[in-house]
Amino acid sequence: MSIPMIVFIICGIFAVLGAIGLILAREPVHSALSLVLVMIALAVLYLLLGAAFIAAIQILVYAGAIMVLFVFVIMLLNAGVEVRTNLSRLARWVGIPLAFLFLVEMIYSLFHEYVGRAGMAAGGTFAAPVPASTEALSMKIFTEFVLPFELTSILILIAILGALVLAKKESA
Amino acid sequence: MVPISYYVILSGVLFGLGVIGFVFKRNIITIFMSIELMLNAVNLAFVAFSREFNQLDGLVFVFFVIVVAAAEAAVGLAIVMVIARNRKSLNVEDVNLLKF
């Protein structure tokens, strides 16, 4: 077993365990920490895939900024243990089977598409592993995708304003 | 090297777990975190396919997904704070004004 495979298996196990922990934890803070585990495992996988810039912003923006925001809000609202309520009858008899059907169908179709295919199954490795250089990525963002890139700054500005307006105390 | 199918299956499993969390959790903040988990799962598939086909467009998409997720988290958590202030509860079943 090659070293990338071992790293992939370890990170995959951590990611899935973190996701399960997010679902099973009763305290929102524990869920948030499980999600941080998932994000760090995914950042290592991005490095394994050669996407160093994406791994960096995964750590900085996701595990850093967004999760800190979540933890701040959890502490600000003093979110305690989650209240368990009985699911409605519709959710129990229709929703749960449909959720599992969705999961099974997605895994089946992914297997069918990417494992069953001859080329992928035989030697489904990357033909010429060229690491995605940050230089090439930034060339793409600042030339081909420069208009969407500028639009994201407006989106962020609107989001800041919206968050301010929503969260401020009504003084009237 | 690791075959791309492994990455896609891991991505699918994470997305499915995110859906399950979204459906089953009752705490509005945890539901939000399940959405973030689904976004992360999709990002993993994007990066894997970008590597597989040696094209950078997937990475550009991941960049924009992360930016939009940051904006969504800021606005969404502000809405959560307003709901918590008005309803004095974080349980989604207490937010039932529009419920049939």
Considering the domain architecture, whether residues A43 and A74 belong to the same structural domain is answered as yes
By residue range, what is the domain housing residue A90? 85-121
Q: Complex ipTM, two decimals? A: 0.90
pLDDT category of residue A117 using cuts at 50, 70 and 90: low
Please state the domain count of chain B. Answer: 1
Domain annotation covers residue A31:
yes
Considering the domain architecture, whether residues A10 and A44 belong to the same structural domain is answered as yes
Please state the domain count of chain A. Answer: 2
Domain annotation covers residue A148:
no
User: How far is it, in rounded angstroms, from Cα B72 to Cα B52?
Assistant: 29
Domain annotation covers residue A137:
no
Domain annotation covers residue B98:
no
User: How far is it, in rounded angstroms, from Cα B5 to Cα A114?
Assistant: 5
User: How far is it, in rounded angstroms, from Cα A57 to Cα A152?
Assistant: 15
Name which of B37, B63, B68 is nearest A38 (Cβ-Cβ): B37
Taking CB atoms and an 8 Å cutoff, what residues of chain B touch A42?
A: 40, 43-44
Domain annotation covers residue B25:
yes
Q: For A80-100, give one letter per residue: b (16+ CB within 10 A) or e.
A: eebeeeeeeeeeeeeeeeebe
Considering the domain architecture, whether residues A17 and A57 belong to the same structural domain is answered as yes
Taking CB atoms and an 8 Å cutoff, what residues of chain B touch A128?
A: 54
Q: What is the CATH number of the domain that holds A65?
A: 1.20.120.1200
pLDDT of residue A130: 60
Residue A21 CA: distances (Å) to CA of A33, A98, B33, B61, B66? 9, 22, 12, 28, 23
Domain annotation covers residue A92:
yes
* Torsion, CA A85, CA A90, CA A93, CA A97, rounded to 10: -90
Domain annotation covers residue A33:
yes
Taking CB atoms and an 8 Å cutoff, what residues of chain A touch B68?
A: 152, 155
Domain annotation covers residue B23:
yes
A5 touches chain B (CB under 8 A): yes
- Report whether B45 contacts B86 (CB < 8 A): no
- Report whether B78 contacts A167 (CB < 8 A): yes
Considering the domain architecture, whether residues A5 and A44 belong to the same structural domain is answered as yes
Considering the domain architecture, whether residues A6 and A78 belong to the same structural domain is answered as yes
Q: What is the CATH number of the domain that holds B74?
A: 1.10.287.3510
pLDDT of residue A4: 87
Query: Model-level pTM?
Result: 0.85
Along the 100 residues of chain B, how does pLDDT read in single tens digits? 788 888 988 998 899 899 888 888 888 899 999 999 999 999 999 999 988 888 888 899 999 999 999 999 999 999 998 888 888 888 887 887 777 6
By residue range, what is the domain housing residue B10? 4-89
